[in-house]
Amino acid sequence: MDIKQLPIDGIDDLYQVSSVEVGQHLYWQIGNFQVHAQVLVTSWVVIAISLGLSAVATRNLQTIPTGSQNLIEYVLEFIRDLTRTQMGEEEYRPRVPFIGTMFPFIFVSNRSGAPSPWRIIQLPHGESAAPTNDINTTVAPASLTSVAYFYAGSHKRGLSYFGKYIQPTPVLLPINIPEDFTKPLSLSFRPFGNILADELVVAVLVSLVPPVIPVPMMLLGLFTSAIQASIFATLAAAYIGESMEGHH
């Protein structure tokens, strides 16, 4: 059996595989900072779509809702019931706008990358993709949730809120403090991992088979996007509600 030695250049080429990026990305160079322009552009589009849909649905409100108004009211009722379930009847109302902002932003962001396999939307030197397939995007709402969590707890309970870190015994202080900081990590990694995996699967299928075959996967992705947005909103409401009730 003949054993052929791999040339040194070939070995170097193999090592360079680890530096290959998945997909093409658009970046802006601002001074010494490199800004992920693809995420910013698609995030702005998501915000514009959300505001546009809200404006159209509430332009001519009717006593008996129909069409887009009916859809918007259904979403609002879902968010209201979700928030009330997690926070209780007395505390949920002031937090509905926050949860009601997180849910549509996450959901629309999750689906904004769906057209990318057919190259319907293209950016210079990059392709349209869901903002939530970038960890920087999911960290932002997760960080806002963490701020809302600490604010709600300290506002409701005052300085006694921080006493939870030494309950039931001060020995648990090194464990109780990191517990609060792992919550935004969980919130940010869950949608990021699921949406990135969804887009990679669809992109690989489109490159291997006729474009019509990945359609069922994209429909499944729609369901996954809704589930991830619901989980994010539910956990955010649960964390805020927990901060006002005390340590469990």
Rg (CA), the chain: 23
Question: CA separation (Å) from 232 to 77, 139, 209, 241?
Answer: 17, 12, 33, 14
Q: Within a domain: residue 112? A: yes
**Domain range enclosing 74:** 27-245
Q: Within a domain: residue 101? A: yes
Q: Within a domain: residue 180? A: yes
Place of tokens 């932002």: 140
The total of structural domains in the chain comes to 1
Strands (E), 99-228: 122-123, 126-127
- How far apart CA 154 and CA 6 sit, in angstroms, is 64
Q: What per-residue confidence (pLDDT) applies to 235?
A: 92
Q: What per-residue confidence (pLDDT) applies to 231?
A: 92
pTM comes to: 0.77
Low-confidence ranges of the chain (pLDDT < 70): 1-26, 113-128, 206, 209-214, 246-248
Q: Within a domain: residue 17? A: no
Residue type at position 29 = Q
Q: Within a domain: residue 106? A: yes
Q: What per-residue confidence (pLDDT) applies to 78?
A: 92
- Do 42 and 114 form a contact (C-beta atoms < 8 A)? no
- How far apart CA 164 and CA 215 sit, in angstroms, is 49
- How far apart CA 13 and CA 174 sit, in angstroms, is 47
Listed in sequence order, the residues at least 6 apart from 97 whose beta carbon sits closer than 8 Å to its beta carbon are none
